[in-house]
Amino acid sequence: MRKYTITVNQKNRETQHLSATHGQNLLRVLADAGLSLPSPCGGKGLCGKCKVKVVSSAQTGASQCVTEESFLDEQQIKAGYRLACQVTVTQDLMVDLSSLQPGAAQIMVAGEHEVPLHPLIRKEVLSLPKPSPDLPVSDVERVETALGLPGSIPPALFTQLSSLLRKGDRTLSAVLAGDEVLSIEEKGQPEIYGMAVDLGTTTIVGYLIELVTGKLIDTYAMLNPQKNYGADVISRVNYTIENEDGLATLTALVRNGINEMIRYFCRKNPGMARRIFDLTLVGNTIMIHLFAGLDVKNMAVSPYTPVVARSFQLNPSQTGIEMHPNGKIRILPMIAGFVGADSVAAILACGMGKKTELSLLIDIGTNGEIAIGNSERILTCSTAAGPAFEGANLSHGMGGIEGAINRIWVDQDLEYSTIGNKPPKGICGSAVIDLVAEMLRVGLLEPSGRMKSPAEIEDEEIPSLLKKRLHEVEGQPALFITGKSHGAPEDIYFTQKDVREVQLAKAAIAAGTRILLQEMGVTVEQISHLYLAGGFGNYIDYDSAIKIGLLPKALRKKIVPIGNGAGVGAKMALLSQEYYALAERIQKQTEYLELSTRTDFQDLFLDALELSFQ
């Protein structure tokens, strides 16, 4: 296994030299050496707190990924700052921890766009005219006139407003959502905050942002408290069908989760919760329904009808969310039962809806959501890729956690790296793609997906060390990555059946991509950017993905990983009314293709089973 040296400089401390293997994560290398950087998001690239200055030159993937750009300003980028959690070690590195500036000014950059700060919620200072007996005017109209907004104050604020006026102070401040007053207060009240939340099936991530400055105050990532009721959305839907109070249970869990997040954000000052006036929420369609307490059972059967897809607002009192009682909970629009507000947010984040050139967006999970389009027209679909790229349903697959084999390459023999440089426990998605690509390259695998048998390869030009790894397990060929024969306690291998799983997943994504191109009437060459959302975009080897035909070769130079596009999009909608409106426009102009009923999709799918891009 290739080894590299990480040289670490710190203020007032001796330079340290750490050892790392190929493919290790820099944050973990530092943590293992006792140099723990703050990482409340758990190394997901969500909190921006693990900044380091990387002195040596070009990294794998050359530049910072978009995830990082959200947390680094131009100067920092030029100076070599990175988020340690986003850095994969592929060479010797020199890291400087001495010049970190915690809490430095941040410019919110999302996708390729700077977001102009124009949140729904704003604060205005009012100077009231003195009341006069000659021009009698009611308390409410006096304030509304000063605001220039007749009819803007809801009756629930009348009493509070009247008491404030009686104190005689003629300077007040108002918190408004558009033209509606949410609070009338004495001047000098504290900051106003908003939250952007991405309700994932597995993880809920929230961002606390001060709305006057747009400054990101805090980030929190937590496991979705519904996880004990099913790992995926379909099992949660089933839970609501099988249990009379199932929907209420799941709704309460996710709402409590958000309240837990608010309590975390306000841990030093619980009163701050009442200064949160806006919560923009994204998530897949089923998670949004579960949050809103809406029936999900129709999304389990064709035609997978959601109760609602357009954007809508809920009140804190309707949901029990412990923010300002007059605050807004704004749910971004969804496209269909399996293309949710998280996809709309990712489309927002990548800028597809604003460009004249065509972009392609791929978000790969158990469902692969794919979108193609520009400011004129967007097409989207969801394909049941299955969990092979998440490392599930394979002989020795696993998620991308410690001990997972995350990179595989073949030189004279098969080599690999593991997450955390721990003894290997299984293979995660990025290594699965590497492995299939390498098997194709060296000739262990035919493009049809047929693995050769040990007998067939005897005379072929394949490194002999590799040949020794091919055996038969239960009557089918299996390539041993490690195992007892290599001194490991457990065998880890990859079988013909595993290849078939990868083929199905790959074919679903590739055929989905193909049908969108076809429906749009364009060729792959006409695409200007291929945006990859999620961890997938950050962790896979693009060349391997292209080799197996998962991504189009023509777009190799056009790949842009956008990190947690859903979270970025939610922040953009929180910070800018224009982006919120754009999300609504995206929903209206997006056409959803239901693939399950299309025979042309079946044909494309069968073609795409071939392990090369069509």
* Nearer residue to a copy of itself within complex by CB, 103 or 168: 168
Q: Whole-number minimum distance, CB 294 to a copy of itself, in Å?
A: 6
Among positions 38, 303, 325, 447, the unique one binding a copy of itself when judged by CB under 8 A: 303
Q: Burial of 519 by CB count in 10 Å (0-12 exposed, 13-18 middle, 19+ buried)? A: middle
Q: Whole-number minimum distance, CB 227 to a copy of itself, in Å?
A: 25
DSSP 8-state secondary structure symbol assigned to residue 451: B
Three-state SS for 124?
Answer: strand
Applying the rule CB under 8 A, the residues between 405 and 464 that interact with a copy of itself are: none
* Nearer residue to a copy of itself within complex by CB, 383 or 406: 383
Rounded distance, CA 335 to CA 338, Å? Answer: 8
* Nearer residue to a copy of itself within complex by CB, 177 or 334: 334
Give backbone dihedrals phi and psi of 569, rounded to 5 degrees, phi first.
-65, -40
Applying the rule CB under 8 A, the residues between 125 and 164 that interact with a copy of itself are: 131-134, 136-141, 144, 150-151, 155-156, 158-159, 161-163
Rounded distance, CA 63 to CA 22, Å? Answer: 18
The single-letter code of the amino acid at 69 is E
Q: Whole-number minimum distance, CB 285 to a copy of itself, in Å?
A: 9
DSSP 8-state secondary structure symbol assigned to residue 332: P
Choose among 48, 56, 108: nearest CA to 83. Answer: 48
The single-letter code of the amino acid at 282 is V
Q: Whole-number minimum distance, CB 162 to a copy of itself, in Å?
A: 5
* Nearer residue to a copy of itself within complex by CB, 340 or 565: 340
* Nearer residue to a copy of itself within complex by CB, 494 or 592: 592
Q: Under the criterion CB under 8 A, does residue 518 sit at the interface with a copy of itself?
A: no
Three-state SS for 177?
Answer: strand
Angstrom CA distances, 317 to 206, 480, 583, stand at 20, 57, 25
* Nearer residue to a copy of itself within complex by CB, 330 or 425: 330
Q: β-strand 216-223 against 276-283: which pairing, if any?
A: unpaired
Q: Judge contact between 304 and 319, C-beta under 8 A.
A: no
* Nearer residue to a copy of itself within complex by CB, 383 or 564: 383
Q: Whole-number minimum distance, CB 137 to a copy of itself, in Å?
A: 7
Rounded distance, CA 456 to CA 478, Å? Answer: 13
* Nearer residue to a copy of itself within complex by CB, 216 or 339: 339
For 419-488, strand residue ranges (E) read 426-427, 470-473, 476-482
Q: Whole-number minimum distance, CB 318 to a copy of itself, in Å?
A: 7
Which H or E run includes 361?
A: strand 358-364
Angstrom CA distances, 128 to 113, 132, 142, stand at 39, 12, 7
Among positions 9, 298, 453, 476, the unique one binding a copy of itself when judged by CB under 8 A: 298
Q: Whole-number minimum distance, CB 337 to a copy of itself, in Å?
A: 7
* Nearer residue to a copy of itself within complex by CB, 313 or 523: 313
Choose among 248, 243, 370, 236: nearest CA to 299. Answer: 236
Among positions 293, 400, 443, 463, the unique one binding a copy of itself when judged by CB under 8 A: 293
Rounded distance, CA 484 to CA 477, Å? Answer: 18
Q: Whole-number minimum distance, CB 61 to a copy of itself, in Å?
A: 37
Q: Judge contact between 53 and 99, C-beta under 8 A.
A: yes
Size of the site for a copy of itself (CB under 8 A): 46
Q: Judge contact between 442 and 466, C-beta under 8 A.
A: yes
Q: Whole-number minimum distance, CB 155 to a copy of itself, in Å?
A: 5
DSSP 8-state secondary structure symbol assigned to residue 118: B
CA neighbours closer than 13 Å in the CB half-sphere of residue 57: 0
Q: Under the criterion CB under 8 A, does residue 320 sit at the interface with a copy of itself?
A: no
Give backbone dihedrals phi and psi of 418, rounded to 5 degrees, phi first.
-125, 155
CA angle 361, 363, 366 (to 5 degrees): 150
* Nearer residue to a copy of itself within complex by CB, 105 or 135: 135
Q: Whole-number minimum distance, CB 596 to a copy of itself, in Å?
A: 8
Q: Under the criterion CB under 8 A, does residue 306 sit at the interface with a copy of itself?
A: yes
* Nearer residue to a copy of itself within complex by CB, 132 or 464: 132
Rounded distance, CA 504 to CA 434, Å? Answer: 16
Rounded distance, CA 400 to CA 415, Å? Answer: 18
CA neighbours closer than 13 Å in the CB half-sphere of residue 17: 4
Q: Judge contact between 315 and 329, C-beta under 8 A.
A: yes
Choose among 177, 179, 142: nearest CA to 158. Answer: 142
Q: Under the criterion CB under 8 A, does residue 312 sit at the interface with a copy of itself?
A: yes
Among positions 295, 413, 446, 578, the unique one binding a copy of itself when judged by CB under 8 A: 295
Site string for a copy of itself, 369-398 (x = CB under 8 A): ------------------------------
Angstrom CA distances, 330 to 214, 398, 570, stand at 18, 36, 10
* Nearer residue to a copy of itself within complex by CB, 48 or 512: 512
* Nearer residue to a copy of itself within complex by CB, 335 or 517: 335
Among positions 121, 147, 199, 292, the unique one binding a copy of itself when judged by CB under 8 A: 292
* Nearer residue to a copy of itself within complex by CB, 197 or 208: 197
Q: Whole-number minimum distance, CB 154 to a copy of itself, in Å?
A: 8
* Nearer residue to a copy of itself within complex by CB, 6 or 336: 336
Q: Whole-number minimum distance, CB 99 to a copy of itself, in Å?
A: 49
Query: How many CB atoms within 10 Å of residue 102?
Result: 7
Tokens of 155: 């009756």
Site string for a copy of itself, 165-204 (x = CB under 8 A): -x--------------------------------------
Rounded distance, CA 533 to CA 427, Å? Answer: 21
* Nearer residue to a copy of itself within complex by CB, 298 or 614: 298
Q: Whole-number minimum distance, CB 430 to a copy of itself, in Å?
A: 33
Q: Whole-number minimum distance, CB 346 to a copy of itself, in Å?
A: 20
> Can you list the alpha helix ranges (DSSP code H) found in 320-463?
341-350, 429-442
Q: Whole-number minimum distance, CB 306 to a copy of itself, in Å?
A: 5
Q: Under the criterion CB under 8 A, does residue 318 sit at the interface with a copy of itself?
A: yes
Applying the rule CB under 8 A, the residues between 571 and 610 that interact with a copy of itself are: 592, 594, 596-597
Q: Whole-number minimum distance, CB 256 to a copy of itself, in Å?
A: 20
Q: Under the rule (CB under 8 A), what is the footprint of a copy of itself?
A: 131-134, 136-141, 144, 150-151, 155-156, 158-159, 161-163, 166, 292-295, 298, 302-310, 312-314, 318, 334, 336-337, 592, 594, 596-597
